[in-house]
Amino acid sequence: MRHARTAAALSALLLGLTGCADSGDDNDAEGPAGAPSVSASAPAPAPAPTEVAVRGGSHDPADPTIALLAYLPASIAVVEGATVTWTVAGPEPHSVTFFPAGQKPPTPDKASEFFAPAPATKPYDGSTLANSGLGPQGPGGPLTFKLTFAKAGTFTYVCVIHPQMTGTVAVGADAAAEPQAEIDARGKTEEGQWLAEGQAAKKKLLETGVQSAPGSNGRTAWTVQMGSTTPHTDVLAFAPAMVPMKAGDTVTFVNGSGAPHTATFAGGTTVPPNPEDPKVLAPAPGGSPQTLKATGYYNTGWLPPDAPPGQGPPLPARSFTFQVPSAGSYNFICALHVPSGMAGQLAVA
């Protein structure tokens, strides 16, 4: 009898434990009395950045004569109220210029009024001019420009001296805004593409070789090409950079690129560092053709670009000829692109 009572007690105890276990499961699902259940959730997305940076232009680190005419990257997306900072490290100058809706950018030869900065006086909404000015110019360091965007929309900006250099800022919801890491990565990718484009263009330019034709009185007429331009680059080099002439020959500089250039012979004088100096802008000592001497200042002046390609000024307006009567070495530069190393020599025997 005692064994029967013990077995009944153990059976009741096990049944109670089983009931407690079931009750515990129900409590875990429902939580403590009066409290809502808690479930795991995804982490909240990172807030959209309110400050981002873009690079304006670049150069081939191995060849400064290859200039990238692009904002890196060309387009970004930011949240309303964000501030964008552009940095133009040079040496090739650029501008970051937002024109008000309906106003077209000028052609490069009529852009000088935009070389001075005109920063926005309030957050930008597309109704006014916002302009970094042209830079860097001289040894003053990189150009920086900041702009805060006040409302949603897509805003386009340009470099006033490089018409093909354009960018966009899309201002909108947080979800579309890009973090700086993504902006930087895309900028690097585009930079690599445009560097390859510029390197191919310079190779093609140099492959043209020395161009010459019979001139008058048994002399030779030589031609020097002044750079070349692609959709995203300027090749700032003379081709050929060294011209093997003879005394009495002529040389004609021809600008078929998308940028203005000069062929400037210092001849023991000082070339003005400001490319807008009247001595750089104008031909010296007069118009084409000129007889080049070993001493004295000789300059083609600004030879305009063939821009848009094939629709620029006629060839005579983009060319300048020198006759070289005496043997010697005549060094020349493009006074607009000295920092990029645009230079050459007439080696006259």
189 occurs within a structural domain: yes
Residues 6+ apart with CB under 8 A from 74: 166, 167, 168, 190
pLDDT grade for 45, boundaries at 50, 70 and 90? low
Residue 226 shares a structural domain with residue 168? no
Mark whether 163 and 114 lie in a shared domain: yes
Residue 335 lies in a domain: yes
* Mean pLDDT value of segment 125-143: 91
Domain count, the chain: 2
Q: Which distant-in-sequence residues (6+ apart) come within 8 Å of 202 by Cβ?
A: 63, 65, 66, 228, 235, 237
pLDDT (average), residues 48-56: 95
Residues 288-347 have pLDDT tens digits of 999 999 999 999 999 999 988 888 899 999 999 999 999 999 999 999 999 999 999 999
Q: In DSSP terms, which residues pair with 71 in a beta bridge?
A: 56
Is there a single domain that holds both residue 319 and residue 192?
no
Q: Does 269 share its domain with 305?
A: yes
pLDDT band at 12; cut points 50, 70, 90? very low
| Residue at a domain's end among 185, 203, 221 | 203
Residue 26 lies in a domain: no
Residue 244 has pLDDT above 80, yes or no: yes
Amino acid at 196: A
Report which of 150, 33, 8, 148 is spatially closest to residue 84, judged by C-alpha positions. Answer: 148
Residue 251 β-bridge partners: 222, 322
67, burial (CB in 10 Å: exposed 0-12, middle 13-18, buried 19+): buried
Tell me, yes or no, whether 218 and 329 share the same domain. yes
- Pair 196, 217 in one domain: no
Kind and range of the H or E run holding 265: strand 264-265
Residue 179 lies in a domain: yes
Cβ atoms 87, 55 nearer than 8 A: yes
Give me the numbers of helices (H) and strands (E) for the chain, helices first please. Answer: 3, 20
Residue 169: which domain range? 51-203
Same domain, 63 and 192: yes
Domain match, 294 and 317 both: yes
**4 burial type by CB count under 10 A (0-12 exposed, 13-18 middle, 19+ buried):** exposed
Asked if 178 and 215 sit in the same domain, the reply is no
Average pLDDT estimate for 278-291: 97
Domain stop point among 154, 179, 203: 203
How confident is the model at residue 40, as a pLDDT?
55
Q: How confident is the model at residue 48 (pLDDT cuts 50, 70, 90)?
A: confident
pTM value surpassing 0.85: no
Residue 224 sits in a domain of what CATH number?
2.60.40.420
The mean pLDDT value of the chain amounts to: 88
Asked if residue 109 and residue 163 are part of one domain, the reply reads yes
**Local confidence band at 39 (pLDDT 50, 70, 90 cut-offs):** low
Assign 3-class secondary structure to 45-56: CCCCCCEEEEEE
Pick the closest to residue 150 from 126, 177, 176 (CA basis). Answer: 126
Note the pLDDT tens digit of each residue in 152-198: 999 999 999 998 999 999 999 887 899 999 999 999 999 999 999 99
Q: Does residue 44 sit within a domain?
A: no
Do 224 and 191 belong to one domain?
no
The 10s digit of each residue's pLDDT in 89-122 is 999 999 999 999 999 999 887 888 999 999 999 9
**Amino acid in position 311:** Q
Q: Which residues have a Cβ under 8 Å from the Cβ of 11 and sit 6 or more positions away? A: none
